Amino acid sequence: MDHAPQHIEFAGFRCCIGKRGSDWPTAKQAQVLAGLAAGMTQKEIARERGISPSTVKSTAEAIYYRLRATRAADAIVKGMRRGWIAPLVLALLVSGLNPHAEAMRHRPPQRTRQQVSATARLTRRDTGSLYA
């Protein structure tokens, strides 16, 4: 029995699929997970695949159970870690087009509050300020 996964594309994601009972998701499960990762609603996934929204909902719940996830975001992360879905290379190339991306990553933190010295606090207490 061949356990090597096959690959399909759906909603901008490359999905690894396998037969039922294998370590890989079925095509239906992978497409639902990829659709959720792409930000599609369950109704949009149903319309795209030509199935009912209740089928998408039950498939999503089966994915959550299989991945031990509590919500869609958790299932997406766990599915990516297992290699079930991966964004297409185009998304990675577009994010690398910004020449200032590296500089933006290493920005020093901005100081938003002004430090108040201990002597300034004592001065406020001496004058009877309510904000000391």
- Between CA 81 and CA 79 the distance in angstroms is 5
pLDDT at residue 119 in the model:
61
DSSP codes of every residue in 76-96: HHHHHHHTSEEE-HHHHHHHT
**Confidence at residue 127, expressed as pLDDT on a 0 to 100 scale:** 59
What pLDDT score does 98 carry? Answer: 57
Residue pLDDT tens, the chain, 132 long = 457 788 888 888 888 899 888 889 999 999 999 999 999 999 999 999 999 999 999 999 999 999 999 999 999 999 999 989 988 754 455 555 555 555 555 556 666 666 666 565 555 555 555 555
Residue-level pLDDT at 9 = 87
pLDDT at 7: 86
φ/ψ of residue 45, rounded to 5: -65, -45
pLDDT value of position 45: 93
- Give the dihedral sign, CA 91/62/58/49: positive
Question: What is the structure's pLDDT at 83?
Answer: 87
